[in-house]
Amino acid sequence: MSQQDQPFPQSAGRDPRSKSAGRSRQPSPKSKRSSPPWVYLVLALVGVLAIFLTLALETADKEAASAPVPLFAKVVGRDQIKMPKVTVNFHPASDPESIAHTSTTDYRGIADLPKEKAKGRFFVVAKSMTGTIGMGQTHAGNHELTIIELLPPKPVIGKVVDAEGKAIEGAKVTARFLGPGSPKLVEATSKADGEFQLYRLSTSLQTLLLQAEAKGFARQDYEYKREASAPLIITLARTMELQVRILDSNGKPIEDIRATVQDQPKLRSVSDMFGLMFFPNLVEKKAVTLQIEDPKRTYRFRDDLIPRPEPYDLVLEEPATLEGIVVDAKQQPLSGITIKHRHGPRAWVRTSSGPDGSFRIGDLPSGEVWLEYELGDGTTKRFTVPMQRGSTRSGYTVQITR
């Protein structure tokens, strides 16, 4: 057999004449079958349901957290011993002298405020069968116990005197805990020597607010700390009545003008047919400032109204206006310069110079009126301008030299 007629050896395993010889042929992938439309609809419904359930659970959690719950207070004595049969009063913070609910501690020393009443913030005052008083505070939604500790009381002893150091008899002294907005705990009256004693306060109340007042004297607040070694002396200042007569620019009394003492909004008065208004119980020898309410008229600022037997005359007049320009040393206009005038306790009347340096400021009284200009760096300088009642003065130049 000729060479070209001989077969290829079996060990070769493949036909070298074929390029694809020896390669394993991969089966052709089967074409994917698309899912029916109802499958996508089911998946979408499942997603929507999951979102709805998540939102519902979150809403339920929020509602549960904000739902009214009863409030609990636990009263303990020395060494955290539970104290049963203690009277517990819940005072609403919005009306601290009233009592929203009264409860008595059980064998565990716990008293509760029903959830129907547990709205807002509360001061919790506990009083033992022997009269010892302690205090705490809680609020709506509080899931924790408010612990009130009643320790053996120790009297608070002090003295009430006037500015000259003389004893004041009959002064009423009250004790509060947690500030002036908390309920009164105990009260005492000073004797002829000015001494007072506050009993039944638990020594767990280390800091107290004492308030002393007497007829003819201004009330005085005093922060008392039990560890203080200095004698407890509360000094009261005498009071007088401030009288003011409101007049117009012609010297005639003005009726029905309202005014308030600055920083004392409860001290209000209205002028009568004689233009008189009265402000009682102001501290003697202490000057005050009035806020006078009249949208059509202005007045000169005064902060020297010291109570005295005679009335002060205050004149209300038609306001004046000043118009002008702010320039520098080279007579070039300056913009953004603040011009202001002190106008009673209404703080300041103010304006700023425009791009061309012009300004306009009103609500000014007559006579020599002082104003200030204020630079960008906070620097201020005062100047005075004579003004006529109810007039507008134009062409005034404010020259600023830096």
The answer to whether the beta carbons of residues 385 and 398 sit under 8 Å apart is: no
What is the Cα–Cα distance from 321 to 339, expressed in whole angstroms? 13
The answer to whether the beta carbons of residues 320 and 390 sit under 8 Å apart is: yes
Tokens in use for 315? 């004149």
Residue among 274, 174, 281, 285 nearest 234 (CA)? 174
> DSSP assignment, residue 251?
S
Ranges of each domain in the chain:
71-149, 156-235, 239-315, 320-399
> What type of residue is 219?
R
Helices then strands, each counted (H, E), the chain: 1, 27
CB atoms near residue 70 (< 10 Å): 13
The answer to whether the beta carbons of residues 88 and 114 sit under 8 Å apart is: no
What is the number of alpha carbons within 13 Å of residue 54 lying toward its C-beta?
A: 6
- Residue 342 has a pLDDT of 84
> What type of residue is 90?
F
The residue written with tokens 């005014």 in the block is 259
Q: What stretch of H or E contains 286?
A: none
Reading phi first (left if > 0) and then psi (alpha if -120 to 50, else beta), residue 80 is in left
Radius of gyration of the chain measured on its C-alpha atoms: 42
3-state secondary structure of 43: helix
pLDDT (tens, 9 = 90+) of the chain, 402 residues, equals 434 444 334 444 444 444 444 444 455 544 455 667 766 676 677 777 777 666 666 655 554 445 689 999 999 999 999 999 999 999 999 999 999 999 999 999 999 999 999 999 999 999 999 999 999 999 999 999 999 999 999 999 999 999 999 999 999 999 999 889 999 999 999 999 999 999 999 999 999 999 999 999 999 999 999 998 889 999 999 999 999 999 999 999 999 999 999 888 889 999 999 999 999 999 999 999 998 988 889 988 888 899 999 999 999 999 999 999 999 999 999 999 999 998 765 568 899 999 999 999 999 999 999 999 988 787 889 999 999 999 999 999 999 986
CA 105 centroid distance within chain: 35
CA 248 centroid distance within chain: 38
Which CATH code fits 239-315? 2.60.40.1120
CA 364 centroid distance within chain: 33
- Topology match between the domains 71-149 and 156-235: yes
Dihedral, 353, 396, 303, 375 alpha carbons, nearest 10: 30
Which phi and psi angles does 131 have, rounded to 5°? 100, 0
- Residue 346 has a pLDDT of 54
Which phi and psi angles does 277 have, rounded to 5°? -135, 150
The tens digit of pLDDT for each residue in 153-166 reads: 999 999 999 999 99
**What per-residue string of b and e applies to 330-348 under the rule 16 or more CB within 10 Å gives b?**
eeeebeebbbbbbbbbeee
Q: Which CATH superfamily is domain 156-235 in?
A: Immunoglobulins (2.60.40.10)
Instruction: State the CATH architecture for 71-149.
Output: Sandwich (2.60)
Residues 6+ apart with CB under 8 A from 84: 105, 106, 107, 108, 109
CA 74 centroid distance within chain: 30
Strand partners, 184: 176
What is the number of alpha carbons within 13 Å of residue 123 lying toward its C-beta?
A: 23
Residues 6+ apart with CB under 8 A from 42: none
The tens digit of pLDDT for each residue in 151-198 reads: 999 999 999 999 999 999 999 999 999 889 999 999 999 999 999 999
**What per-residue string of b and e applies to 122-140 under the rule 16 or more CB within 10 Å gives b?**
bbbbbbbeeebbbbbbbeb
Dihedral, 243, 270, 303, 346 alpha carbons, nearest 10: 180
Which CATH code fits 320-399? 2.60.40.1120
Which phi and psi angles does 339 have, rounded to 5°? -115, 130
Tokens in use for 83? 């104290």
- Residue 66 has a pLDDT of 55
3-state secondary structure of 394: strand
What is the Cα–Cα distance from 62 to 366, expressed in whole angstroms? 62
The answer to whether the beta carbons of residues 194 and 237 sit under 8 Å apart is: no
